[in-house]
């Protein structure tokens, strides 16, 4: 049994609380948020203590794992602040906004012997796992094109919930926030990215960052990729999907949370293909789907067996580097080659109101 604690009791904390309550090997023992009312509201129904200072929480409670659910721009600071306590760390996506923060996080956790897990729960969707298995088995042959689409609805009221939303310093736009899972899936499936060219726009809401973006990728394999992402879909969410095309097969996983197999076609039918088409489509009750439970169960297995998690700091950094490269391309108007260090990318570099944002 591992004791978990949450740092940050915002919107995503409800999913973590629900999932941890359903896992036999996990026990949520405390929560923390600088807004006392928010922390109390999260802890009250569970009958567990709440804190407004995570240092105090770590001193008083027996904690094995801390889930960091604070605004994205604070992830690096909070990991570096907590790593010395020796607890294992789960951090919500994206792991950080700047590559410098990501590198410091990875180095500090390695030095302290602490496992760092980055939440990429869509990798655990049944359909996605079967897609990755087919790729690893070579069923697609030469890869041709990989595409992800995020067509979701986030109106002005969503961004007005918290002052950090929709800012360069703390959040990023649709590509950093909502589409970061899909960027991760595309890179995980298609392999290393050689270069990217991108455009963004802010069309329907008043925020610093983009609500719409498109990027053209070239992979080191020679295959191409397309990222299409928007929170300006109206009046409601439409889809979150991935499609992979190869010389011997085509797969599209759609739905609004990369959860429903729309196409599963290969030139050589496998005995499991029909079962995959029918069994692996899921209809999650909300956009977060079922993946968080499988992700946190994998975290527990990794800690108990002292093995590497599916998405550790190094793995989480890959999609962050690509997102930074996308913004670099937007700022320069040029194709950007990876690996690289940002020069013009504004992500994580805007003004920061530390007093109101920290947890």
Could you tell me the domains of the chain?
2-121+293-312 (3.40.50.720), 122-284+318-337 (3.30.360.10)
- Residue 321: the pLDDT is 98
Q: For residue 309, what are the CA distances in angstroms to 16, 168, 297, 301, 306? A: 18, 30, 10, 8, 9
Q: Identify the CA nearest to 159 among candidates 76, 85, 232.
A: 232
- Residue 95: the pLDDT is 98
Question: What residues form DSSP beta bridges with 150?
Answer: 229, 240
- Residue 139: the pLDDT is 98
Three-state DSSP class for residue 118: strand
- Residue 280: the pLDDT is 86
Give the residues of the chain that fall short of pLDDT 70: 282-290, 350-359
Distance of CA 97 to the CA centre of its chain: 12
Distance CA 57, CA 48 (A): 12
- Residue 281: the pLDDT is 78
The string over 143-179, giving b where at least 16 C-beta atoms fall within 10 Å of a residue's C-beta and e elsewhere, is bebbbbbbbbebeeeebeebebbbbbbbbbbbbbbbb
The string over 190-204, giving b where at least 16 C-beta atoms fall within 10 Å of a residue's C-beta and e elsewhere, is bbebbbbbbebebeb
Question: What is the greatest pairwise CA distance in the chain?
Answer: 60
Cβ–Cβ contacts within 10 Å for residue 36, how many?
11
Answering whether pTM is above 0.75, one says yes
Give me 284's structure tokens: 């999650």
């Amino acid at each position: 049994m591992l004791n978990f604690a949450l740092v940050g009791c915002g919107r995503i904390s409800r999913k973590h609380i629900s999932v941890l309550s359903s896992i036999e090997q996990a026990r949520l023992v405390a929560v923390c948020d600088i807004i006392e009312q928010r922390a109390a509201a999260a802890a009250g129904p569970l009958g567990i203590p709440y804190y407004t200072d995570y240092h105090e929480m770590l001193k008083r409670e027996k904690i094995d794992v801390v889930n960091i659910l604070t605004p994205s721009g604070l992830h690096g600071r909070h990991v570096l602040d907590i790593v010395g306590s020796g607890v294992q760390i789960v951090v919500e996506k994206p792991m950080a906004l700047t590559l410098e923060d990501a590198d410091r996080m990875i180095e500090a956790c390695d030095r302290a012997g602490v496992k760092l897990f980055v939440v990429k729960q869509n990798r655990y969707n049944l359909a996605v796992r079967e897609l990755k298995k087919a790729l690893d088995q070579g069923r697609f042959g030469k890869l041709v094109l990989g595409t992800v689409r995020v067509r979701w609805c986030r109106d002005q009221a969503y961004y007005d919930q918290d002052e950090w939303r929709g800012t360069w310093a703390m959040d990023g736009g649709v590509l950093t926030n909502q589409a970061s899972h899909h960027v991760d899936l595309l890179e995980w499936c298609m392999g290393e990215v050689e270069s990217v060219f991108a455009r963004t726009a802010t069309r329907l809401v008043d925020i610093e960052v983009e609500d719409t973006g498109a990027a053209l990728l070239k992979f080191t394999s020679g295959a191409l990729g397309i990222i299409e992402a928007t929170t300006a879909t109206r009046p409601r969410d439409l889809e979150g999907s991935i499609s992979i095309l190869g010389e011997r097969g085509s797969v599209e996983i759609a739905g609004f949370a990369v959860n429903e197999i729309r196409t599963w076609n290969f030139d050589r039918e496998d005995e499991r293909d029909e079962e995959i088409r029918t069994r692996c489509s899921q209809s999650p009750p909300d956009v977060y789907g079922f993946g968080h439970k499988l992700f946190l169960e994998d975290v527990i297995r990794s800690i108990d067996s002292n093995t590497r998690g599916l998405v550790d700091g190094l793995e989480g950094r890959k999609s962050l580097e690509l997102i930074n490269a996308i913004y670099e391309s937007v700022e320069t108007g040029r194709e950007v080659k990876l690996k690289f260090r940002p020069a013009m990318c504004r992500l994580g570099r805007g003004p920061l109101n530390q007093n109101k944002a920290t947890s």
